[in-house]
Structure 1
Amino acid sequence: MDKREVVKNRKISSIQFANLRITVGWNSYSEKLETALQNSYCQYSIVEEDRLIGFVRVISDHSLHAYIADLMVDPRYQKQGLGRLLLSRAVEDLKRENFPFIELIYNPELETFYKKLGFEIIGAGIIRNGKNQ
Structure 2
Amino acid sequence: MELRVRFPVDDRELSTLHALAFESPVSVQPWGARLERHALTWVGAFSNDRLIGFVQVCWDGGAHAFVLDTAVHPEYGRKGIGKELVAAAAEEARAAGCEWLHVDYEPHLTAFYVEACGFTPTEAALLKLR
Q: What band does the TM-score fall into relative to the shorter chain?
A: 0.7 to 0.9
Amino acid at match of 1:37: L
Counterpart of 2:12 in structure 1 is 15
Contact 1:14–1:37, Cα closer than 8 Å, also in 2: no
Over 4 Å off, 4+ runs: none
Counterpart of 2:41 in structure 1 is 42
Point out where structure 1 has 5 or more consecutive residues left out of the alignment. 125-133
Counterpart of 2:89 in structure 1 is 90
Q: Percent identity?
A: 26
Deviations 1:72-125 (Å, cap 9, x if unpaired)? 00000001100000001111222233312211111211111111222112226x
**Structure 1 residue 16: Cα displacement:** 1.1
Answer 1 or 2: which has greater strand percent. 2
Q: 1:28 & 1:37 partners in 2: Cα distance?
A: 19
Instruction: Say what the alpha-carbon RMSD is for the aligned residues.
Output: 1.7
**Structure 1 residue 28: Cα displacement:** 4.5
- TM-score in terms of structure 2 length: 0.83
- Secondary structure in 1 aligned to 2:123? coil
**Structure 1 residue 54: Cα displacement:** 0.4
Q: 1:32 & 1:97 partners in 2: Cα distance?
A: 25
**Structure 1 residue 49: Cα displacement:** 2.8
Point out where structure 2 has 5 or more consecutive residues left out of the alignment. 125-130
Q: 1:113 & 1:88 partners in 2: Cα distance?
A: 12
- Secondary structure in 1 aligned to 2:9? coil
Aligned residues: 121
- TM-score in terms of structure 1 length: 0.81
- Secondary structure in 2 aligned to 1:41? strand
Deviations 1:41-66 (Å, cap 9, x if unpaired)? 11000122332100001111221211
Counterpart of 1:123 in structure 2 is 123
